[in-house]
Structure 1
Amino acid sequence: MLKALIIDDEERATDSLRLMIEKLVPEIIEVKACIDARKAAEVIQEYKPGLVFLDIQMPHLNGFEVLEKIPNKDFKLIFTTAYNEYAIQAIRFSAFDYLLKPIDAEELQQSVKRFIQTAHDYKQQFDLLKNIMHNINAASADGFRLALPTREGIHYLIPGEIIRCESVGNYTKFHTKTGKQFLISRTLAEYDTLLSPHDFIRTHKSHLVNKKFISFIDHDGFVILADKTKVDVSRRRKEEVMKALK
């Protein structure tokens, strides 16, 4: 029995999301809306939802300010937002779930499915929320911390600490300049999208490399990195890699 709460100042948006939930998400048996961010903390305390859909951009209080007013965050959270590249990057770097408005029905179903399948680790969620706030307040996207959830806990890296990422099936292995490695259950394609604006380049379907750690390309066409690692360069990406290094 899952109760959900929608916090959004746009009444049309809350009505639309509520109808989608009632029609497409049978796991949620009750859904309520709050259109005044100033009352959100009180509504959460009284209603006790298991899942909250929280809009980021609202008058009076934004979504992050709403969260600061809630002492016990014992609910799961999915952000909803209109297109805001900086905020979305901050959230994605923190491995946090969000829905982009106008909300797509299939993405809504997938988000709720992920919520149901994951353990309700509220401490981990709180740690990830703190990382979002760090990223939002960073002077630039170069200061973003990338959250890497592992079985041992969450590890945080700024892009400049990552030498390369390697595809291992549906996992990605991170190689860092300290020599530490982290295996994360997300695909290399996802990290390619996140890290390419930070001077990372895909040299091969299995390799994503931080350009600042590339020393040279040898006669056999391999990229040689600062840690002496040799990385494959695919034939179709060779011209792009050569151009990026000029």
Structure 2
Amino acid sequence: MITTILVDDELRLLSSLSNMIELYCPQLTVTAMCDNPATAIDKIKTMQPGLVFLDISLPGKTAFDLLREIGDINFAIIFVTAHNNYMEQAFKFSAIDYLLKPVDEEDLVKAVHRAVKRVEEQSFRNSMASLLHNMQKHSIDGDPKLCIPILNGFEMISVSEIVFCEADGAYTNFHLTSGKKLCASRPLLDYELLLQDKMFTRIHKSYLINTRYIKKYIKGEGGTVVMNNGSEISVSRRKKELFLEMIRENFHH
């Protein structure tokens, strides 16, 4: 459940929006309804919501003034307004969506779906950052350890052992320097976000490689990377420039 705060100076609209959310958006739980900027700022700061529905025209100030006053915006925003002339400014604040009053049920559901996805992604990034911190904390001689969830438990490996990771549906296969292959019960995207600052790069939708173990690059439409364990991995066309740029930035080339 995503904690949600509603901000609108019209009590009738607050009540209506709250009822619609209860009926059509089970992913959300409304923890506060605010009809003035001061109360909204206080509730947002103390309750730390994941999502805020925010009316643009508020007594004495706009929603944009309110957001500037809060400063650190670590929640998703759906603007609600009776006018559509604020759209450009709204999206400068990374709004999820922009709903016109009276709020349409279908538009609300679509906006909430996008908001839930954004909040979940941010939550995942935060958990990955925490995990990365723990990796560094438990590193040995500067070599972080990674806990790999496997079907019957978990296995600890050093990041330096990983030659490349290969997507296998919702699973990830780790190819190690020892020649061993481990199957982790998490998708490749999880490890891309976790390892991207550790000299790993995604060169294909199915492959994340440790650039330290590149032996050779063969030019082509996307090209082919030969790893030092003999594996040949295709580079996708759309990943080629990013891959080559990373090589230029991190190695003498």
**Interval of TM-score (by shorter of Structure 1 and Structure 2):** 0.3 to 0.5
TM-score computed with the length of structure 1 as normaliser = 0.45
TM-score computed with the length of structure 2 as normaliser = 0.44
